[in-house]
Amino acid sequence: MKSSAQLSRLAESSIGITEYISETPGIKGSMKYRFSDFIVREVAMDKTVVCLTDMSGKLEGAPAQEVAEEGVDGFEKLESLVGKEVAARVKTLVEQDEVDGAAEIVLEADADKAHRTAVHTCIKQHFPKLTTDTVKVGSDQKTAVRIFSKVDNSKGRPNKRQRREAIFQGAKRDAKFIKFVLYKENLDTMAAVSIISKMVKTKGGTFSYAGTKDRRACTTQLVSAHRVDPFVLTDLNKRLRNICIGNLSVCEQTLKLGQLYGNRFQIILRDVQASEGSIEALCNSLKEKGFINYFGKQRFGTSSIPTYSIGREILHEDWEKAADLILCPRDGEKEESKTAREKFKEHKDPAKALEEFPRWMFAERTLLDVYKKRGMNSHLNALQALPRNLRLMYIHSYQSYIWNKMVSERLRMYGKDRPVEGDLVLESKDVESESLFDLEGVDESTLSGANASEEQESDHDKWTKSHPKKVKVLAASDVDKYSIFDVVLPLPGVSISYPTNEIGKKYEEALKADGLDINNLANKNKEFTLSGDYRKILSQAEDFSWETIDYKNPKGDLQATDLEKIKGSSDEDVRRAADKEAAADAKARRALKLSFTLRSSTYATMCVRELLKEYVEEAACGLSFEEKPGESE
């Protein structure tokens, strides 16, 4: 029997997802039974797949700290300044990080400033491992030079300031950032970065990344940090849970949203019930004909109230109804959340509600806080208090809802094989720009409190406005010059062109049915004005391959994560172990492993949907793997 959470999930048809490319019946199976069944590795702009391979703390691009070569000349010069005995003690300090049980040598009081300066200069030029300052000694508080190791003996390495100076001053002149590979399990990117920023005691905006990865997965991606101590980052691995940091390097520029080629996926479908022939036919069709580039269900939230309905009321400028949809009771939530919503609906006391709403309900608590301070009629003020990314997500969700409905109409009316007169194509080979809201795994709960990404989205908006896409309306004579993979459909907005065939009329009708005018989508509040965009109707998986795996243990791993590979395992080892168990069991299960690369802004779940067909809703129940026995958060 399905849980209330499963029953409350949006049906695909309710968000416009209705069509398939292939006519072959689908594969029955379970998706994301374990989060290790869904591995996502970022693909950088140079098409390099980002993997976690080194957690030693080694820093690429940092200056070499050559201590052994400080050499004879340095000691001879120091001896001439401080004498043979002191020079010998300094040599011991260099070699052992301490002398006579201490990590410093205080020289005799020296009233000659020029002589003290010469000592300082000698140490600085010839002994990178050491540093100097001056201290007051004796009852008469005379000045003396102190020589001490940059190494903090209690921890065995330079202090924070010294390390940072050594790294960034010795590297390339413009190097200001540390870049590292972030590996995470069962955690979204924003949450992982928030945890890291708190542990290194810096602001979330210190960290930047190209895209947000799915929570219910094992993922790797690049993250950049502005002048953060790499040794501190590496040390976090001892304390972090479900997060690892590695492959550190010094770089000159921060990462920006959309600065990636795409993502490499390895996905396991368990308990597959299909013949080899069906699997072969479906996978070959997916490889050759691609899949419909729908916005996935995560785009519309995970509760019974879809985010597009909130966006629609914002576009209507009905601030009260939009806020009410965020706060009102809904099916499928935790009992604590459900009770808090129901109580607020009865008493309408924001101060009392703030005591009742759990702290994880960030968006709701933000609205209530404004109501408490400014009164229960401050609906627009309450919405504007939400993080910018969350505010925009609601209206972008509505755009996606309309786009999904229109792409289904286009494929039903004109087929899935070729362009037709009146279709739109991009004039240039523009790469579809990545938005925070196009990313797999980003939903309402993810963006709640996502202040760390506010500036990233602002950069994306600026780039989009300065690089508007231009489209061409196909005439009958143009149709044979393009393929179905060139056809785009618009996300409705201002300054957007629409198809001149029947699909253009369908857009107008759909918006009118929702009380909106296709020719007047500007909002009095500019932040809620739809800017519009274009999206290809079909997409293809690159480097697509598949294999079947026989296994016995339903809770056993069927592929190796990057963390397991560092520990010495491999995909081949995992496969052999599964095969060995299955060989001894006549009732062995079968899994299908899929490997492919998708360009940014494309949903892997929509790619896999082309294989699952009518079983997609059943397979999606595997998304709630927390409810499976034996699994933990």
Burial label for 615, CB within 10 Å (0-12, 13-18, 19+), is buried
DSSP string, 346-398: HH--HHHHHHHS-TT-HHHHHHHHHHHHH-TT-HHHHHHTS-HHHHHHHHHHH
Cα angle for residues 394, 398, 399 (degrees, 5° grid): 115
Burial label for 592, CB within 10 Å (0-12, 13-18, 19+), is buried
Residue 327 makes CB contacts below 8 A (sequence gap 6+) with 341, 344, 364, 367, 368
The β-bridge partners of 60 are: 249
Q: In the block, which residue shows the tokens 């120091």?
A: 78
Residue 537 makes CB contacts below 8 A (sequence gap 6+) with 292, 293, 407, 410, 411, 484, 487, 488, 489
Which of 188, 214, 229, 443 is an active site residue? 214
Which of 583, 298, 243 is closest to 443 using CA atoms? 298
Retrieve residue 449's tokens: 């409190």
Angle of helix 319-327 versus helix 362-374 axis, rounded to 10: 130
Q: Which amino acid is at 163?
A: R
The dihedrals phi and psi of 45, each to the nearest 5 degrees, come to: -60, -30
Is residue 147 a contact partner of residue 178, using CB atoms and an 8 Å limit? no
Helix (H, G, I), strand (E, B) or coil at 32: coil
The β-bridge partners of 39 are: 218, 266
Contacts 24+ apart (CB under 8 A), 130-133: 130/90, 130/93, 130/94, 131/162
Q: What is the dihedral of CA 610, 615, 618, 619, to 10 degrees?
A: -40
Q: In the block, which residue shows the tokens 């499928």?
A: 332
How many Å apart are CA 614 and CA 51, to the nearest integer? Answer: 34
Which of 246, 141, 293, 337 is closest to 602 using CA atoms? 293
Residue 7 makes CB contacts below 8 A (sequence gap 6+) with 331, 332
CB atoms within 10 A of CB 465: 9
Which of 547, 549, 552 is closest to 587 using CA atoms? 552
Q: In the block, which residue shows the tokens 């419909």?
A: 292
110 is catalytic: no
Retrieve residue 47's tokens: 């098409």
What is the set of active-site residues?
214
